[in-house]
Amino acid sequence: MLSVGIDLVEIERIKKSVQNPRFCGRVLGGSEYSQLALRGFPVQSVAASFSAKEAFSKALGTGLRGFSMNEVELLREPGGKPYLKLSGNALRIARERNLVFSVSVTHTRAYAAVVVIGQEETK
């Protein structure tokens, strides 16, 4: 079984949100926040993180219900490959549905887009 979620967000919309100091703390998970803080919270990357949470919720099939946005973190391996780190209810729901996720991220000056693919985990 495969499930797909996609999201596209306008960078300008996130730029306005980032001006509210509580936005990053509410939306970003701890590791994600730290990675972005080291880079000065580049708005394109914050937008990609936001978009990843939306795309994940679509691939999971719940929408943004049942978990907090900061329980879904868009992180990068040392080589730059993106991955999702789940915690709390997001992790619980994914495990209940026996799903593992892959993520792809891109952005331009105006938009950030993310595709998340959920696949039934084989044991």
**Domain residue ranges of the chain, discontinuous segments joined by +:** 2-120
Q: Which of 15, 16, 81, 107 is catalytic?
A: 107
Identity of residue 18: V
Q: Are 26 and 49 in contact (CB under 8 A)?
A: no
**Domain boundaries 2-120, corresponding CATH code:** 3.90.470.20
pLDDT category at 20 given cuts 50, 70, 90 is: confident
Give yes or no for residue 123 having a pLDDT over 70: no
Of the chain, the percentage scoring pLDDT greater than 70 comes to 99
Q: Which of 15, 58, 81, 85 is catalytic?
A: 58
Which runs of E-coded beta strand occur in the chain?
2-10, 72-76, 82-86, 99-107, 111-120
Question: Is 107 an annotated catalytic residue?
Answer: yes
Mean confidence (pLDDT) of the chain? 94
Question: Is 123 an annotated catalytic residue?
Answer: no
Token pair for 104: 């792809």
Residues facing residue 105 across a β-bridge? 114
Looking at residue 6, its pLDDT comes to 98
Please compute the mean of the pLDDT values over residues 89-93 and round it to a whole number: 96
Looking at residue 94, its pLDDT comes to 96
Q: Are 64 and 54 in contact (CB under 8 A)?
A: yes
Global pTM value: 0.92
